[in-house]
Amino acid sequence: MALTRHSDAVAPVRSSGPISIWFSRHVSTAGGSLGRLFRQPFASLMIILVIAVTLAIPAALNLVVKNAQAVSSGWDNALDFSIYLRRDIREDEAAGLARLIGQRADVESVQLIKAADALDEFKRLSGFGDALDQLSENPLPHTLVVRPSPANTSQSMILLQEELANLPEAELVQVDTEWVQRFHAILDIVRQAIVIGATLLGVAIVVIIGNTIRLDIQNRRDEIEVTKLIGASNAFVRRPFLWSGFWYGLLGGALALGLVAYGLFLLEQPVARLAGLYQSSVSVLALSLEESLAILGVGVLLGLVGSWFAAARHMRRIEPR
């Protein structure tokens, strides 16, 4: 008997693996949970809006601190001393004093700002040029800007300030960056306050999502009892509620990013106008990609935590009768 080959024979269909089954079930559950949110648009929008505002507040405050640090980034790099010389000191004497101070081992550089140059700059930046033109003489003294060496310690800085103040030509010695240190100390306090406030707001988000999931569980009590009656485990029944918390957190985080971006858009023109008055260019820093992803991640994490606690607590109380 001749053997015949069936080239068009159908190969046996392999069953899907456990990973594919697990993935398809989660995709189906995620889609169903998202559809349930859209079937209750008003209630879902209110919860998402509350989450968004709660996330946007610490994000916006952190952005304020970030912009303040960016503006002052160049202030803390120079611990300069400004030596205001006596009015009777001539320009050549001031230049000689600058060369003498510049020879010190604890001084990196010395810059002489002439009285005439200082007055011209003040006229240009203050907007009182016409009024200052009426002065009979220049009221500003020659100034030496002394930049200490980076090798100085805090004690040597104090000693240098005292020695410069004791110069017979010096009228006043001012440390230019003392107010910068105070400003940065204030920023540190604000940053710590933001962390504490963000933690409390995160707890509020967990409570809000947990309460929402609890109400959803109570409304679907009969459905849960039937599902458990046919053998479903608590993990299987809990899955759609976890996805609901996921969507609440993700959509809330996305809306929070939109609120922050809209707030920055409203601030662009006022900030540009203020910078123009000081003849400078200041651009408002937006959230970076890492910060945006962090906000979305925090929203999702809080949503999952709130939904898991609510589902784990109330799911055990529902058993088929």
Single out the residue of 106, 98, 143 nearest to residue 122, CA to CA: 143
Our count of domains for the chain comes to 2
Do 194 and 136 lie in one domain? The reply is no
Per-residue confidence (pLDDT) for residue 236, from 0 to 100: 79
Could you tell me which residues are beta bridge partners of residue 173? 83
Tokens of 83: 């030596």
Q: Is residue 293 part of a domain?
A: yes
Q: Is residue 206 part of a domain?
A: yes
Do 156 and 295 lie in one domain? The reply is no
One-character DSSP codes across 226-239: HHHHTT--HHHHHH
Per-residue confidence (pLDDT) for residue 2, from 0 to 100: 45
> Backbone phi, then psi, for 141, in 5-degree steps?
-90, 170
Do 132 and 192 lie in one domain? The reply is no
Do 233 and 194 lie in one domain? The reply is yes
Q: Is residue 3 part of a domain?
A: no
Domain that holds residue 235: 29-74+181-315
Kindly report which listed range (59-63, 269-273, 278-282, 312-316) carries the lowest average pLDDT score: 278-282
Single residue among 176, 211, 237 that ends a domain in this structure: 176
User: Which residue intervals of the chain are DSSP H helices?
Assistant: 18-39, 41-71, 91-102, 115-126, 129-132, 154-165, 178-219, 221-229, 234-277, 289-315
Instruction: Judge whether 274 and 174 are in contact, CB under 8 Å.
Output: no
Q: Measured between alpha carbons, how far is 142 from 219 in angstroms, rounded to an integer?
A: 80
Q: Given the DSSP bridges, would you call strands 170-175 and 81-85 parallel, antiparallel or unpaired?
A: antiparallel
Tokens of 228: 């458990």
Single residue among 125, 149, 176 that ends a domain in this structure: 176
pLDDT band at 8 (very low <50, low <70, confident <90, very high): very low
pLDDT band at 13 (very low <50, low <70, confident <90, very high): very low
Q: Is residue 15 part of a domain?
A: no
Do 240 and 155 lie in one domain? The reply is no
Do 50 and 185 lie in one domain? The reply is yes
The DSSP call for residue 137 is S
Q: Is residue 14 part of a domain?
A: no
Q: Is residue 153 part of a domain?
A: yes
Q: From the CB of residue 193, how many other CB atoms can be counted at a distance below 10 Å?
A: 13
| Average pLDDT over the chain, rounded to an integer | 81
Single residue among 176, 201, 233 that ends a domain in this structure: 176
The model carries a pTM of 0.65
